[in-house]
Amino acid sequence: MLPLKEKDKPVVQKLLSAGCCPRCVLRFCCVSVQAAYRRPRQDTLKELQAFISNTDNDKSTESTDENNKSHDAAVSDPPSKRAKLEPSAEEDDAAAVKPKDEESRVCVVCLGILQELCDTAQAVKISEAVKAEKYEFDTLVLSVSLPAQLCVREHSCWLHVKKELREKSIALDKDDVVQVKEAFKWIMQGLVAKELGGVAVVTRSMFEVGVEFTHPETDADCHFLASTCPDCFKPTKNKQSVFTRMAVVKALEKIADAKFLKHSPCPPARPSSSCTPQGVQCLHVSVFVAGRYNKFCRSLPQTPWVIDGERRMESSVEELIAAPVVSSFRADGFNFSSSGREDVDVRTLGNGRPFAMELLNPHKSRLNKVEMKQLQETINESSDKIRVRDLQIVTREAMSRMKEGEEEKTKSYTALVWTQKPIQREDIAFIDDIKDLTLDQKTPLRVLHRRALAVRQRVVHTMTTRFLDSHHFHLGLKTQAGTYIKEFVHGDFGRTKPNLCVLLKTDTDILELDVESVDVDWPPPIPE
Ligand code: ZN
């Protein structure tokens, strides 16, 4: 039986005659027993009608208790017997047709949300939509978005019962009223779980299934609030309408009862139709994947290179890595980041450069070690321009380790240097003895279009030379991250000081550059 008390009777009476559905009546009676909402609403309606008619028939408390008992008995009776009892609970001429009529009318408060919009048929629709997208998940959270004007109806209904409650000096706060959203979830969670074969529908999950309802017929219901509380309705860039749920709730908190009642009928007017369910939106939280990459090609940019809408290079590091990863996790998209980046003509050798990817709305969120290894192989087999190692799933938090302290990290390079003047082995040997050389680097001309003009100090920790011929040698450098190596070699018209031209007293240029190592200890190595 319904957990209602004697004091609820006038409220039940008032709400039923105002056109509230039985579940909304329970909400306004602050019934927080979830099971009460899950019962067929026709049964609840019958019970509510019996509940109030008992008072009408007999005012004494004792006999009310008696009636309640017999009423309990009626509920547990077979349906045929119960059906016979119904007309006796009705008072007016239309007694015989009223129950059915009442059931089919759209609730003035929830606009049908707690009526036919939360039953097994709806649960089937939701679960079919989820199944169609073939997500892999253990639990899901059900979210529901209701039309903002529902809050106006809720407020109107609240004012409708408030007067009654005041007169009876019953303490009831608006916050105690069970929200439509809550009741909807209490009913639907179990039904959706059942349709999805017993998946746990919980309050927090990586996987969210959202259902949205609109009710165009009553969209204008909340518009008067814009004139009574203009502060609450400021246009925002991303919203289609200023009448967001948040704004409407805020305005309703501010508006005086008398002013509200001037603009809005109380109780709310009868709608002619129920809310319209919009599509089911499924969203899985992002999965993060990290690893290290080598780049072996001097004509491969890190990101797609597009100038004036035209592609300059056929592929990129990012695309070569992302394509197999996105397809394995069946993600909708990705964000790629790495510990620094190299120019298109620079190779990255050694252990490679740490990178991380955020996979957006992945339909599959877990790959075991074997599957990750296979994925890594798929990437490596797809192209000989790049190679990936240490591929693994990481947390969002762990990703920040890649970026933190990036400036303090060291990087090692090898440059192929050309000298204008002929050189001998011994001419360059002194370079090996230079330690911790501090450079003043004015923003290079080649990056001036995207970086602010400044002088940055960077340290070249060590250098090693390897003589090749009278005009060429290999220069190995270990530097602070962020050092512009090319500019150190050719001097950038004196914008980098000191530079190799100054040190060797001849013009020098850089012909090739390789990154040998990026000394970031993340992500952790994965044994082969
Ligand atoms: Zn309702």
Average pLDDT, the chain: 88
Comparing CA positions, the residue from 468, 473, 481 lying closest to residue 503 is 473
pLDDT at 73: 39
* Average pLDDT, integer, range 439-463: 95
Quote the ligand 1 centre to 99 CA distance (angstroms): 16
Of residues 304 and 169, more confidence is placed in: 304
The CATH number that domain 406-517 falls under is: 3.30.70.3190
Q: Rounded to an integer, what distance in angstroms lies between the CA atom of residue 229 and that of residue 243?
A: 12
Q: Do domains 286-403 and 406-517 have the same CATH topology?
A: yes
Q: Rounded to an integer, what distance in angstroms lies between the CA atom of residue 347 and that of residue 286?
A: 30
Quote the ligand 1 centre to 33 CA distance (angstroms): 17
- Output the CA–CA distances (angstroms, integers) from residue 94 to 63, 100, 365, 481, in the order listed: 27, 11, 58, 85
Which residues keep their CB under 5 angstroms from ion ligand 1? 21, 24, 107, 109-110, 114
pLDDT, tens digit, 9 for 90 and up, residues 9-63: 989 999 999 999 999 999 999 999 999 999 999 999 999 999 988 755 444 444 3
Quote the ligand 1 centre to 90 CA distance (angstroms): 21
pTM higher than 0.85: no
Catalytic (active site) residue 343: yes
Catalytic residue selected from 43, 343, 345, 509: 343
Domain positions in the chain: 6-66+79-282, 286-403, 406-517
pLDDT at 166: 75
Domain range 286-403, CATH class: alpha beta
pLDDT, tens digit, 9 for 90 and up, residues 285-302: 999 999 999 999 999 999
Contact 354, 338 (CB under 8 A): yes
Is the per-residue pLDDT at 488 higher than 80?
yes
Task: Give start and end residues of each alpha helix (H) in 168-309.
Answer: 180-195, 224-228, 245-254, 257-263
Quote the ligand 1 centre to 21 CA distance (angstroms): 4
pLDDT at 404: 76
pLDDT band at 265 (very low <50, low <70, confident <90, very high): very high
Contact 276, 217 (CB under 8 A): no
Other Cβ atoms closer than 10 A to 245: 15
pLDDT, tens digit, 9 for 90 and up, residues 79-137: 443 343 334 433 444 444 444 565 679 999 999 999 999 999 999 999 999 999 999 99
pLDDT band at 379 (very low <50, low <70, confident <90, very high): very high
Contact 382, 284 (CB under 8 A): no
Quote the ligand 1 centre to 109 CA distance (angstroms): 5
pLDDT at 262: 94
Of residues 311 and 231, more confidence is placed in: 231
